[in-house]
Amino acid sequence: MKTLAQKIIARAAGVPDVAPGEIVTCKVDLAMSHDSSGPRRIAPMLESLGARVWDPDKYVIVTDHYVPALDPESRQILQFTRDWVSQNGIRKFHDEQGICHVVLPEQGYVRPGMLIVGGDSHSTTGGAFGSYMFGIGATEMLGVLVTGEIWLKMPHTIAIEWKNAFADGVVAKDIMLYLCGQLGMDGGQYQAVEFGGSAITALNMQERMTLANMTAELGGQAGLIAPDETTIAYLLSAGVSTEDLGDLSQWKTDEGAPVLARHVYDGTALAPQVAAPHSPANAADVGSYKGQEIDTAYIGACTGAKLEDLRMAARVLKGRRVASGKRLLVAPASLRDQQAAKAEGTLDILTEAGGELLPIGCGACAGYGQWRFAENERVLSSSARNFKGRMGALSSQVWLASPYTVAASIVTGQITDPRILLGESA
């Protein structure tokens, strides 16, 4: 009896089985870097070794941090990235197409059973598709790019099950903030965290991506969800062939497989969550922060501005306006999602409500660009982290919530339970 994590890592290591705690060397199916973690850091090290990328077709590079270029430094970094990609024959290059964690699935690069490394902590997003994807630093990435391999200490699995169904207005972001509050930011113990249960299988793929993404906030090495018909439908729409998908029935945890811990929750009992400054672990039911005045609402980041996230915000904002003296910033997570939101009218709802459309990319979430938050600015954000000074001035105050809660709160000007406005819209 094996866990999903054991099956993926054993395949990558070329062995029939691998036990928790065992160290193995794995072949990497795909590596990913962005403009901040990629060529500008990797190229000098490769040059010093006289080495080249082991397989240019297995290396994906996305520009998302320094876009749009606003100063000489960012222009230089982006140009260096583009030149290096061309010189090294990197064909999987996506320039200003969106945030890497959203672009990779859109392109069909992330598939069940794969072992993938990424030069960013939120690379855990790929686990939503039943792959084992995790973040690594520049030195480890150098080793991968030269050898095509990486060593791993086989993790234990922590199983998190959500039974029944979530209420209207309660979504994946609420799940992860709740878990951060309950288990702490080391609750994942740098193990494999696998999500399951009827409430999880009912989620669409972009909601599952939010779960896997924020496994990084929970302290897990990887966040996993076993593939199912929802996964298959998404990947087929992304251009993956049925032949490339293969037999997906193997990519699941066997019944009775040993796990380090198992946490079981009732989805019907979960309320919308809000995390106070300066940690996702400062999470509590939205009612705990009711009436907290905010200046700015931010719908952005790979965690909070995908097409499904934009739809949540639009559902609340349709026919309503941003409160007087407040501002709503909207930074879609990818160009494809922005175009889809525009075509279906979602984007128009957001801008007609008073939202200001920002360029796609990491932007304020990662503290890049001109939209950093000002001294003492109070922000409610759909992003993943609210560490002190990360998104702007040290004195800025950032709360975290779902797109539903962020949108509802900017209508009233204070932190508000979105179920109230959703009920009024019914």
Please check whether residue 151 is in contact with residue 255, taking contact to mean a CB–CB distance below 8 angstroms: no
Residue ending a domain, choose from 205, 232, 266: 266
Predicted confidence band of residue 425 (pLDDT cuts 50, 70, 90): low
The per-residue pLDDT for 298 is 98
For range 144-173, the mean pLDDT: 98
For range 150-163, the mean pLDDT: 98
> What domain range includes position 325?
272-425
| One domain, residues 254 and 390 | no
Return the CATH number at 356. Answer: 3.30.499.10
| One domain, residues 103 and 225 | yes
Q: 426 pLDDT exceeds 80?
A: no
The DSSP output letter for 163 is: E
What is the average pLDDT value for the chain, to the nearest integer? 97
For range 357-363, the mean pLDDT: 94
* Cα separation values, 78 from 6, 214, 292, 358, Å: 38, 27, 40, 19
| One domain, residues 234 and 369 | no
| One domain, residues 305 and 260 | no
| One domain, residues 374 and 245 | no
The per-residue pLDDT for 99 is 98
Q: Annotate 125-154 with DSSP letters as a single string.
A: GGGGGT-EEEE--HHHHHHHHHHSEEEEEP
The per-residue pLDDT for 193 is 98
Helices (H) and strands (E) in the chain — how many of each? 15, 18
For range 409-426, the mean pLDDT: 92
| One domain, residues 146 and 171 | yes
**Burial of 14 per CB tally in 10 Å (0-12, 13-18, 19+):** exposed
Predicted confidence band of residue 370 (pLDDT cuts 50, 70, 90): confident
| One domain, residues 9 and 153 | yes
Q: 119 pLDDT exceeds 70?
A: yes
Q: 125 pLDDT exceeds 80?
A: yes
Please check whether residue 167 is in contact with residue 272, taking contact to mean a CB–CB distance below 8 angstroms: no
CA distance 265 to 280: 19
CA distance 106 to 240: 10
Residue ending a domain, choose from 251, 266, 281: 266
CA distance 54 to 89: 11
| One domain, residues 106 and 15 | yes
Count of domains observed in the chain: 2
Q: For 30-42, how does the pLDDT look when each residue is reduced to its tens digit (9 = 90+)?
A: 999 999 999 999 9
| One domain, residues 245 and 358 | no
Amino acid found at 148: G
| One domain, residues 260 and 317 | no
Sheet holding 222-224, edge to edge: 222-224, 192-196, 157-163, 261-266
| One domain, residues 203 and 314 | no
Please check whether residue 383 is in contact with residue 301, taking contact to mean a CB–CB distance below 8 angstroms: yes
Percent of the chain having pLDDT more than 70?
100
Q: For 42-101, how does the pLDDT look when each residue is reduced to its tens digit (9 = 90+)?
A: 999 999 999 999 999 999 999 999 999 989 999 999 999 999 999 999 999 999 999 999
| One domain, residues 257 and 345 | no
**Burial of 261 per CB tally in 10 Å (0-12, 13-18, 19+):** middle
CA distance 74 to 53: 24
Percent of the chain having pLDDT more than 90?
95
Residue ending a domain, choose from 266, 286, 320: 266
Residue 170 phi/psi, 5-degree rounding, is -110, 125
Predicted confidence band of residue 198 (pLDDT cuts 50, 70, 90): very high
